[in-house]
Amino acid sequence: MTLELRQIEKTLGTDVHIHPTDLVLEAGGFNILLGTTLSGKTTLMQLMAGLDRPTGGTLHFNGKDVTGMRVQNRNVSMVYQQFINYPNFTVYENIASPLRVARMPDAEIKKRVGAMADLMRLSPMLDRKPAELSGGQQQRTALARALVKDSELVLLDEPLANLDFKLREELREELPKLFADRNCIVVYATTEPIEALLLGGSTATLHEGRVTQFGPTGDVYRNPKDVISAQVFSEPPMNTATVRKVGDRVDLGGIAYWPCPAVLSDKPDGDYQIGLRPHHVTPAANTPDGAQDGCVKISGEVLVTELSGSESTVHFKVGPEVWVSLAHGIHSFGVGEVADLQADLSRAFYFGADGALISS
């Protein structure tokens, strides 16, 4: 089962919401759309569902062109960030709604809704109205309605974003199990890189209406194609700065120098971008040069320190950029203090002037 987007694009007046996009989504595993708010995740999903017409390109389901087919005639389900249920229907009727529209016999509806309610742990609430449920139960109802009809395409638009922390973790664990033995294409939009990593599958990184990279989630995380994909798939965002290669040395704006890495060795001298994930920038080690092997010491003025239990997040200035360090343990720096940190160069990404990753 495949859903194929061929040069799908959406413009509204002069605003480009989705740049021409090619994407092939497969059944089995989550297809994750990862991007910040307004990056086009929801628009892309609406185009996939058929709720919105693309201004260009075609949409193919199992090879068949379904562009412009009414959403009612497609076999699609959707769950939103807000808990969307029919307020005047009971939970039972909410879940049964797609089956009733399909004119399924009552006995069959009863069986299916019962089974789905058991799975979603909603059985005691079937006679209640959605407004009388907790947020988690409301979202479970919405999920139940999306899953009860065996649709071929299930679109989940940030389904966990409005839930409390605990409920979110609970439901996030359940989700992959719910879809494990279903033959359908699951598309899951999220703003959180961690959620993408936990759910696995494939990930498409979105930025300003463009899919910047698509592939197995782990690959996209480990081998970002360009600086934007890397920034989208990092929380806190990846630290970047301009470095200059001069001969066999690399210079970070006069703040630090290190020997030229292998990937840059056969590249011409000039400006490149370095990318370092926050957890690869840590407080300086207690060695004579202030850095462990393979690391370089970087000092900068501290802007903010956030302590969250066992982790410290330090925002500090590196030339014109603000970098973030994420380290285990409590490392308290005063605001305005010059902190000594070390960057793990073995984990550094180098990007060319065009933003593309330079790999060996």
Partner 1 sequence: MKRTAIVPALYIVFLMLPIYWLVSMSFKTTNEILGGFSLYPRDFTLENYIVIFTDPVWYTGYLNSMAYVSLNTVLSVACALPAAYAFSRYRFIGDKHLFFWLLTNRMAPPAVFALPFFQLYSAVGLFDTHIAVALSHTLFNIPLAVWILEGFMSGVPKELDETAYVDGHSFWSFFLKIFIPTIAAGIGVACFFCFMFSWVELLLAKTLTAVEAKPIAATMTRTASTSGYELGLLAAAGTLTIVPGAFVIYFVRNYIAKGFALGRV
Binding site for partner 1 (CB under 8 A): 46, 49, 51, 71-72, 76-78, 80, 82, 84, 86-89, 97-98, 101-102, 142, 145, 149
- Ramachandran category for residue 173: left, alpha or beta (phi over 0 → left; psi -120 to 50 → alpha): alpha
The distance of closest approach from Cβ of residue 13 to partner 1 in the complex, given in angstroms and rounded to an integer, is 10
Complex with partner 1: residue 30 or 80, whichever CB lies closer:
80
The distance of closest approach from Cβ of residue 162 to partner 1 in the complex, given in angstroms and rounded to an integer, is 12
Complex with partner 1: residue 86 or 200, whichever CB lies closer:
86
The distance of closest approach from Cβ of residue 90 to partner 1 in the complex, given in angstroms and rounded to an integer, is 12
Complex with partner 1: residue 80 or 214, whichever CB lies closer:
80
Complex with partner 1: residue 102 or 330, whichever CB lies closer:
102
Complex with partner 1: residue 50 or 283, whichever CB lies closer:
50
The distance of closest approach from Cβ of residue 343 to partner 1 in the complex, given in angstroms and rounded to an integer, is 44
Complex with partner 1: residue 131 or 246, whichever CB lies closer:
131
The CA distances from residue 179 to 14, 124, 151, 188, in Å, are 39, 23, 12, 12
The distance of closest approach from Cβ of residue 178 to partner 1 in the complex, given in angstroms and rounded to an integer, is 18
The distance of closest approach from Cβ of residue 100 to partner 1 in the complex, given in angstroms and rounded to an integer, is 9
Half-sphere exposure of 263 (CA within 13 A, CB side): 15
Complex with partner 1: residue 44 or 142, whichever CB lies closer:
142
The distance of closest approach from Cβ of residue 356 to partner 1 in the complex, given in angstroms and rounded to an integer, is 37
**Whether the Cβ atoms of residue 352 and residue 226 lie closer than 8 Å to each other:** no
